[in-house]
Structure 1
Amino acid sequence: MGKGLIGRKVGMTQIFDDAGNRIPVTVVKVEGNVVVQKKSAKGKDGYSAIKVGFGDVKLLEKEGTEPKWRLSKPRVGVFLKAGIDKPRRFVREFRVSEGELDSYEVGQELGADTFNVGVWIDVTGTSKGRGFTGVMKRHNFAGAKASHGVHEFFRHGGSIGMSATPGRVFKGKKMAGQHGNARVTVQNLRIMQVLPDENAILIKGAIPGPNGGVVTLRSAVKKTVV
């Protein structure tokens, strides 16, 4: 249980603490978060949570036709039903306690001040896609020796087979293949600064995805001190 926001990764920079130590941080813009729906454990859903929308949607305006959002009608209808005139492209759900549910209202805008400086969060995003890569890049294999008779085998993975028993390749064997472009969560990252005027959050360390990628910020699940 805890707080959550959707944001867009801007990039990395550095800040300095009072002792002059350099701290690498990632800047995340969280402007435009809005509460779309509240779910209560006492209702038909059976659990308490909030749904949050984020990301601008273009309005297609063509002469002689009715303006239409560049989004499917069912997704637009979710926002219209909630009384939100401008739909959002991304929707995420965050579990909250029943007591915390009362502090949210449908249509409420959430900003960077949702989180405080010093709290621990988990960040989820889609990692950079690197295409089809070999075992050295994908799994950090050492590779073969580059001398003493090794011939055109420098970056290979070595033997993958078995003896007569079991006589097959086990599932999950580390081999070459698709690398990246996967959902990744980095846990226990600390918020170093909150900039309410810019609706930005500075997070210590690196987070998944390219600059401009959409990420989800949640209260850390493995930290008891917040």
Structure 2
Amino acid sequence: MKNFRLDIQYDGGRYKGWQRLGDDDNTIQGKIENVLSEMVGRKIEIIGSSRTDAGVHAFDQVANFKMSESFSEAEVKSYLTKYLPQDISITKVTIVHDRFHARYNANDKTYLYKIWNEEHPHPFMRKYSIHVENKLAINQMRKAAAYFIGEHDFTAYSNAKSKKKSMIRTIHAINIDESEGFIFIRVKGDGFLYNMVRKMVGTLIEVGLNQKEAEQIPTIISSKERNQTGGMADARGLHLEKIEF
């Protein structure tokens, strides 16, 4: 039995997220599994490192699957490249140790959020960033971001429905940079809840527009009330940038 690791990039704009949804194959996982199943003639299931939301993109998603068939790394990559849609790319296929698990072995994840912060829209980046035409107060956003760092119960910043799942996560770093009209927000943590990064970015944008005070964030976190966080940033600006094992 071989354990294959897939390194994956995708434009998530037309998909319902990473995770397979029943018989609906309009997901990244569903598309890849369908092609692999056709290749081997039986059902193949893959495990992804991060369950990205509908419309979210990825520069560095990682998945793994096991099969006993005698396909090589090159053959698997070639078949996936030939039959997957062009907005999903398998950048690397590697046979790894039997115990490698894309989800459980992932230590840290970094998400990148892109904001186009000029008065005019950006026609070539409209699918991969959001447009905020009013100038954002970057220093205030950085001040606000510091309150998210560390281990917290992020119930207020999640739309997760499960009440049994732990809402405690650790944020290691949030970096906010400017370059040629763009604002890049990078959030690195040990894991993220459903919609968590988008809700955090939504709060940071509101701080940048002077609609919220940075000092409100600890109170919002401790309240565990989801209606306190304000708006949620659009999915198209979010990119899974890096998975660390």
Give 1 or 2: higher helix fraction: 2
Give 1 or 2: higher strand fraction: 1
- Shorter-chain TM-score category? under 0.3
Higher relative contact order (CA 8 A, sep 6+): 1
TM-score (structure 2 length as normaliser): 0.24
TM-score (structure 1 length as normaliser): 0.25
